[in-house]
């Protein structure tokens, strides 16, 4: 049957089982939006194109499916770049559709023309400019395949206006993708090498990253750790891949990791690193990272192996399949850890945990941000999907909200994008309308995309914003305190809106707590309302995130609040 490009576009989305798209209309995509009107396709109108990408990103992180957004050409397309780069750094599967001027005008500096494929080439997994309607359906199919396969990532598809207006014969059965899955199956010899290393180890541990969650391998990793009593630490992106309530969990490692996680990494003699990038915030000084350990690195992306940390045994493979192979091999060869040495190792870690627990100084006078997060965890019993902005709010959430399940911590890791949390929460809530979805935010970050409160209000997307309001760009101020002798250059944010009144102006419920004994009541009230809510908690202005590893130091050297650096 003959269909227009706009009709083929919708049919291709249906073939990919897309159930929601986040977007913002404009001239070059009006034909597509007219088709939405005719088909009642589930579309969420955001208030800024960056919000559309972050919402699709949040949806993808929470569901494990491909997130989808649509914007117009020119500034509409360029406004997506930060969101695309955010997804690319964290390997999140997205397909971003951008409008483009008609093919005959490309290169003529036409109104709202830009080379978005050229602009986004460094921050997409792949991108396409569709010049022929005959290629439209197959390109869309290929884009989804590329986005979700191997190491996931964002794919951009640029759609010229005239291509979408053309007609051609369309038969979904004839649409084929030119791309084929590359299967990485580790060699059996690798499993034997893992067994040999484990047999020689007295202080083994596991380091889990975002690749475990993306690879849906949390069950296998948890089974491996529990069966062989190996303690587990995680990167920011790995939170939730191993239950935080398990005694084997050491918390996050790295710059703001727990003392006992960083000490375990620094003293282990075997590390199984699964789906991690070994980024600088995790490793500290590379030369001193896990200096005594034989490191096995499992990753589906060959380019990640030996990129930052030179490892002893690289294993290129899907995390779930590889961990299954390791479990099977260890069971088949009757691996059993030496109980005496394992007991000594776990006891040593317990001593570190007791010596320097993850804690803070409570107050009856001023609200501590950590207390807000702990109370939120208690009231929800941890059964919530949490997004964050970036900065102190993000680190306190990683430290004090224990994540027991994968896909429950949604945050910008690699790029550290302020303004991510609110639109991401909207995407998460659209996917899971019956779950508590909470954006833990700072007053600096929330203002980056606060316009998306209107989106939440319009569709009654009942996200809850827990605003840790300290009147500063908190993490930047912390660095100025520690490294610039408290010269707070342009980080004071006390000139800000009344967030409660602003929330109400958007049609959102606004609540506020200014004293510790108001925190629980405000959280209970906010969580109980079936509407979007912004809760403004006026927290201690100069509270810092600790532990902290200073730039250029080993992760075994941590500053712990007012105490001296501990090594």
Q: Which of 90, 44, 89 is nearest to 71 (CA)?
A: 44
| Residue 394 burial (10 A CB sphere; 0-12, 13-18, 19+) | buried
CATH fold of 188-355: Rossmann fold (3.40.50)
What is the phi-psi region of residue 499: left when phi exceeds 0, alpha when psi lies from -120 to 50, beta otherwise?
alpha
CA 253 to chain centre: 16
pLDDT digits (tens, 9 = 90+) for 464-477: 999 999 999 999 99
pLDDT digits (tens, 9 = 90+) for 431-456: 999 999 999 999 999 999 999 999 99
Residue 52, C-beta contacts closer than 8 angstroms, at least 6 positions apart: 22, 23, 24, 46, 69, 70, 71, 80, 83, 423
| Model pLDDT, residue 562 | 55
8 Å CB contact between 535 and 508:
no
Residue that the structure tokens 């690749």 belong to: 211
Question: Mean of the pLDDT values across residues 244-249?
Answer: 98
| Model pLDDT, residue 380 | 98
User: Looking at the annotation, which residues are catalytic?
Assistant: 49, 111-112, 161, 475
**Strands annotated E in 300-383:** 313-316
Residue 199 has pLDDT above 70, yes or no: yes
How many C-beta atoms lie closer than 10 Å to residue 548's C-beta?
20
Q: What is the mean pLDDT of the chain?
A: 95
Cα–Cα distance for residue pair 342/338, rounded to 1 Å: 6
| Model pLDDT, residue 399 | 98
Structure tokens belonging to residue 203: 């202080």
Determine how β-strand 167-169 pairs with β-strand 2-4: antiparallel
| Residue 215 burial (10 A CB sphere; 0-12, 13-18, 19+) | buried
| 206: β partners | 232, 272
Exposure letters 62-92 (e unless 16+ CB within 10 A, then b)? bbbbbbbbbbbbbebbbbbbbbbbbbbbbbb
| Model pLDDT, residue 178 | 60
| Model pLDDT, residue 181 | 60
Strands, sheet with 384-388, edge to edge from the N-terminal-most edge strand: 409-410, 384-388, 436-442, 464-469, 533-538, 509-513
pLDDT band at 183 (very low <50, low <70, confident <90, very high): low
Give the pTM: 0.96
CATH architecture of 369-538: 3-Layer(aba) Sandwich (3.40)
Q: What share of the chain is helix, strand, coil (3-state, %, to 5)?
A: 45, 20, 40
Residue 423 has pLDDT above 70, yes or no: yes
Sign of the torsion angle spanned by Cα atoms 211, 213, 215, 218: positive
How many C-beta atoms lie closer than 10 Å to residue 42's C-beta?
11
Cα–Cα distance for residue pair 440/131, rounded to 1 Å: 43
Cα–Cα distance for residue pair 240/188, rounded to 1 Å: 29
Residue 168 has pLDDT above 50, yes or no: yes
Q: Which of 481, 486, 487, 437 is nearest to 461 (CA)?
A: 437
- Of the candidate CATH numbers 3.90.1170.50, 1.10.760.10, 1.20.1250.20, 3.40.50.970, the domain formed by 2-174 belongs to 3.40.50.970
pLDDT digits (tens, 9 = 90+) for 76-115: 999 999 999 999 999 999 999 999 999 999 999 899 999 9
8 Å CB contact between 409 and 384:
no
| Model pLDDT, residue 565 | 46
pLDDT band at 368 (very low <50, low <70, confident <90, very high): very high
pLDDT band at 180 (very low <50, low <70, confident <90, very high): low
8 Å CB contact between 56 and 23:
no
**DSSP-assigned states of every residue in 444-477:** HHHTTSTTHHHHHHHTT---EEEEEE-SB-HHHH
Structure tokens belonging to residue 460: 């009654």
The answer to which of 84-93, 498-507, 557-566 has the lowest mean pLDDT is 557-566
Residue 567 has pLDDT above 90, yes or no: no
User: CA angle at residue 194 from 191 to 197, to 5 degrees?
Assistant: 155
pLDDT digits (tens, 9 = 90+) for 281-335: 999 999 999 999 999 999 999 999 999 999 999 999 999 999 999 999 999 999 9
How many C-beta atoms lie closer than 10 Å to residue 309's C-beta?
18
| Model pLDDT, residue 174 | 80
How many C-beta atoms lie closer than 10 Å to residue 227's C-beta?
13
3-state class (DSSP) for residue 537: strand
- CA R_g for the chain: 24
pLDDT digits (tens, 9 = 90+) for 532-544: 999 999 999 999 9
**DSSP-assigned states of every residue in 192-227:** HHHHHHHHH-SSEEEEE-HHHHHTT-HHHHHHHHHH
Identical fold for domains 188-355 and 369-538, yes or no, is yes
Cα–Cα distance for residue pair 305/464, rounded to 1 Å: 39
Structure tokens belonging to residue 484: 């610039």
Cα–Cα distance for residue pair 240/480, rounded to 1 Å: 32
Max intra-chain CA distance, the chain = 75
Question: Mean of the pLDDT values across residues 554-562?
Answer: 88
| Model pLDDT, residue 563 | 47
| Domain segments of the chain as ranges | 2-174, 188-355, 369-538
Q: Which of 74, 81, 69 is nearest to 28 (CA)?
A: 74
Cα–Cα distance for residue pair 424/509, rounded to 1 Å: 19
Which of the 8 DSSP states describes residue 304?
Answer: G
The answer to whether the bond into 157 is cis (omega within 30° of 0) is: no
pLDDT digits (tens, 9 = 90+) for 327-364: 999 999 999 999 999 999 999 999 999 999 999 999 99
| Model pLDDT, residue 545 | 97
Residue 393 has pLDDT above 90, yes or no: yes
The H or E element containing residue 488 is none
Q: Which of 414, 428, 390, 422 is nearest to 56 (CA)?
A: 428
| 538: β partners | 469
């Amino acid at each position: 049957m003959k269909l227009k490009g706009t009709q083929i576009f919708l049919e291709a989305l249906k073939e990919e089982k897309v159930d929601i798209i986040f977007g913002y209309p404009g001239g070059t995509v009006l034909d597509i939006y007219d088709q939405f009107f005719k088909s009642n396709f589930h579309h969420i109108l955001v208030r800024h194109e960056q919000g559309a990408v972050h919402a699709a990103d949040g949806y993808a992180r929470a569901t494990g499916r491909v997130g989808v957004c649509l914007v117009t050409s020119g500034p509409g397309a360029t406004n997506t770049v930060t969101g695309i780069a955010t997804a690319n750094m964290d390997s999140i599967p997205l397909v971003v559709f951008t409008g483009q001027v008609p093919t005959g005008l490309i290169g003529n500096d036409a109104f709202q023309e830009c080379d978005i494929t050229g602009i986004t080439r460094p921050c997409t997994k792949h991108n396409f400019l569709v010049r022929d309607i005959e290629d439209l359906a197959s390109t869309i199919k290929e884009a989804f395949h590329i986005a979700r396969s191997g190491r996931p990532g964002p794919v951009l598809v640029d759609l010229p206006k005239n291509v979408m207006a053309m007609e051609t014969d369309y038969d979904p059965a004839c649409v084929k993708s030119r791309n084929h899955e590359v299967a990485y199956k580790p060699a059996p010899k690798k499993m034997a090498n893992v067994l040999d290393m484990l047999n020689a180890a007295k202080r083994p541990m596991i380091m889990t990253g975002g690749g475990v969650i993306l690879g849906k391998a949390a069950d296998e990793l948890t089974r491996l750790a529990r069966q062989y009593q190996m303690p587990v630490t995680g990167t920011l992106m790995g939170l939730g891949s191993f239950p935080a309530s398990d005694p084997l969990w050491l918390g996050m490692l790295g710059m703001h990791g727990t003392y006992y996680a960083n000490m375990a990494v620094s003293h282990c003699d075997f590390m199984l690193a699964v789906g991690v990038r070994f980024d600088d915030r995790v490793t500290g000084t590379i030369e001193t990272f896990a200096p005594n350990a034989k490191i096995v690195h499992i990753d589906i992306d060959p380019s990640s192996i030996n990129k930052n940390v030179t490892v002893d045994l690289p294993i290129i493979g899907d995390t779930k399949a590889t961990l299954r192979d390791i479990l099977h091999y260890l069971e088949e060869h009757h691996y059993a850890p030496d109980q005496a040495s394992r007991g000594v190792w776990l006891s040593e870690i317990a001593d570190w945990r007791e010596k320097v627990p993850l804690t803070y100084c409570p107050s009856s006078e001023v609200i501590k941000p950590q207390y807000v997060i702990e109370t939120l965890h208690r009231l929800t019993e941890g059964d919530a999907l949490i997004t964050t902005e970036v900065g102190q709010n993000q680190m306190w959430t990683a430290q004090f909200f224990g994540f027991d399940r994968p896909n429950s911590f949604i945050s910008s890791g690699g790029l550290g994008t302020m303004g991510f949390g609110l639109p991401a929460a909207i995407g998460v809530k659209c996917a899971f309308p019956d779950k508590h979805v909470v954006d833990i935010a700072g007053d600096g970050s929330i203002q980056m995309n606060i316009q998306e409160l209107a989106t939440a209000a319009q569709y009654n997307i009942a996200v809850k914003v827990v605003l840790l309001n300290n009147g500063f760009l908190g993490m930047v101020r912390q660095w100025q305190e520690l490294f610039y002798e408290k010269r707070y250059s342009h980080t004071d944010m006390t000139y800000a809106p009344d967030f409660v009144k602003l929330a109400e102006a958007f049609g959102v419920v606004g609540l506020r707590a200014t004293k510790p004994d108001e925190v629980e009541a405000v959280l209970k009230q906010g969580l109980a309302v079936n509407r979007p809510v912004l809760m403004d908690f006026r927290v201690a202005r100069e509270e810092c995130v600790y532990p902290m590893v200073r730039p250029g130091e080993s992760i075994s050297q941590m500053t712990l609040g007012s105490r001296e650096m501990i090594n």
